[in-house]
Amino acid sequence: MKINIGAGKFKKGGWTNIDHVSKHYNSKNDIDMDFLKDQNFPIDDNSVSVAYCSHMIEHLPEDVINNLMKETCRVLKPGGVFHVTCPDAIKGTKAMMANDLSFFSMYQDYAVFNAPEYKKKYSRTAALKDATIYQQYIYMIASAKCIYIDVPCEKITDEMIKEFFKTMEINLALDRICTPVDAKITADNPWMHTTWWGVTKVQDFLSRAGFSETYNIECGKSRVKELRDTNYFDTIFPWYCLFVEGVK
């Protein structure tokens, strides 16, 4: 058995898709699971050979991800591999500090971040291509706190970002930016990024979940041959992402 956790529209023979149908994500899943409510995979221990998770962990609170990683370890066979990819907040921070707009090019180029027809669905008040690099960065790290997202929570201004990184270490500044918003906002807006991740942090979570080995890799360089096929795997903005694997 091979599972894709937070699969979205992914379809590939031999894979079991696990995700939750909502107004934002309506693809048919093999297992429908609301990760904010359901604590356990309906899968037997030691029955999965490979688990894959792409652009999902940044959407959920850390306690949910901690449980998800423990559950993934439980269902994997000994020696099974869990492949995780998501936006790399450390890379993003360095790009923001260097004023490297190319790192955030998707926010300038893609209609979903800019076109008027998507404004209501994603609670946007303006096109992200017109935002400063600081607000594009906040949208990447803690979407609700971007000043152009119309949800009721603390907003992080450009000046606040400059002050955080002037006075704090990177990890502490990221923790400050990603202080949790109201749980209902997270539940009602599953598209939002709510937690930050870097390679070391993902590895720490995997180790605490019970994985015996963790390692950082490049896109398309998995130990699992099938996962090297970038027609199916690691397809989303690879320059912007981290890629980590854990072995049970």
Per the CATH hierarchy, to which homologous superfamily does domain 2-88+197-247 belong?
Vaccinia Virus protein VP39 (3.40.50.150)
Specify the DSSP element, H or E, that contains 216. strand 213-216
pLDDT (tens digit, 9 = 90+) per residue, 97-134? 999 999 999 999 999 999 999 999 999 999 999 999 99
The Cα 196–Cα 213 span in angstroms is 22
pLDDT (tens digit, 9 = 90+) per residue, 138-168? 999 999 999 999 999 999 999 999 999 999 9
Specify the DSSP element, H or E, that contains 69. helix 62-75
Domain boundaries, the chain: 2-88+197-247, 90-188
Mean confidence (pLDDT) of the chain = 95
Record the pTM. 0.95
pLDDT (tens digit, 9 = 90+) per residue, 4-52? 999 988 999 999 999 988 766 666 789 999 999 988 999 999 999 999 9
Q: Which pLDDT belongs to residue 26?
A: 62
Give the residues across from 87 on adjacent strands.
241
- Determine which of 21-25, 70-74, 172-176, 218-222 has the lowest per-residue pLDDT on average: 21-25
The Cα 195–Cα 121 span in angstroms is 21
The Cα 16–Cα 3 span in angstroms is 5
The Cα 174–Cα 153 span in angstroms is 17
pLDDT (tens digit, 9 = 90+) per residue, 82-94? 999 999 999 999 9
Give the residues across from 85 on adjacent strands.
54, 243
